[in-house]
Amino acid sequence: MLKRLIKRTISYGNQALGLPHNRTPAQIRAIKSAFVDGDLDRQRVHLIAASTQQSETVVERQIAEFRRQHEGEIEETTGQWRTAGGSMMSLRDRLSLDLLVRAVKPHLAVETGTDRGASATVILQHLDSPEGRLVSVDLAGAHSDRYGELIPEALRGRWELRLQYGSPLLPQVLQELAPIDLFLHDSNHSVRHMRWEYELAWSSLRPGGCLASHDIVTGTAFEDFGSRHADEISGGGAIGNLGFWFKRRQ
């Protein structure tokens, strides 16, 4: 209780000073409660089309295709999409990620925080070729055996899981693989850690590559990064709880 109180006090203090901050649980709930599927679809169409030079008609068709493929995950009584249990990326955020990865067509991608593999499956489905590769970085621990359990067997040959046992593993992975086409953050969502991952990944992205992040409503790291690197960004923005920035081509 004391720890939570201290965190909230620091958060409110940083907000009052205009500094980067984590949002409180109440603030996060308020932001998420404003998400409406129709509004998010309009954001998807606009941002994806504008950032990837695709027509809005193509993006709309891709949205409809994704919905057909996942219609069993939509509540019949409300028409609203179910929120995945636990820490797994929700279906509405996977739709946004699906559209983004379709446009990027990455050959080499890196993600942090793979968990059961919902986001990894989306990325693996849209790699540019059978030789494409996704490297997922996550913490070794009691739940390591469930990492990637949702990834279909047919896609596993292009997936590599790297477990972190001690010191941060991401710098080593990015140094080894750079330049990469796509980076997805979905691990520790503190402002400090998100900013650290963003900066590391950005320097390892090829020109024209994409940095994406889940759970961007937990704090101001995503917006802060966009402001700091505005001159290097060619497009992007937020779609609900998923955000992305494209690195300007040189």
Q: Which residues of the chain have pLDDT under 50?
A: 76-79, 83-86
- Homologous superfamily assigned to 82-247: Vaccinia Virus protein VP39 (3.40.50.150)
**Quick check: helix, strand or coil at residue 169?**
coil
Buried b (16+ CB within 10 A) or exposed e, 71-105: eeeeeeeeeebeebeeebbbbbbbbbbbbbbbbbe
Supply the pLDDT for residue 21.
Answer: 85
Global confidence as pTM: 0.91
Query: How confident is the model at residue 1, as a pLDDT?
Result: 65
User: Residue 227: what pLDDT?
Assistant: 97
Predicted pLDDT at 86: 46
Name, in order, each residue with C-beta under 8 angstroms of 83's C-beta and a sequence gap of 6 or more.
Answer: 90, 91
Q: In the numeric block, which tokens belong to residue 66?
A: 């994704």
Stated as kind and residue range, the H or E segment containing 109 is strand 108-112
Q: Provide the Cα torsion 19, 22, 23, 25; round to 10°.
A: -160
Q: Which stretches within the chain are classed as H helix?
A: 2-17, 25-33, 37-52, 56-69, 91-104, 118-125, 170-177, 191-204, 221-228
pLDDT of residue 84: 45
Q: What is the pLDDT of residues 192-225, one digit of tens each?
A: 999 999 999 999 999 999 999 999 999 999 999 9
- Residue 87 has a pLDDT of 54
Q: Which residues pair with 211 in a beta bridge?
A: 183, 245
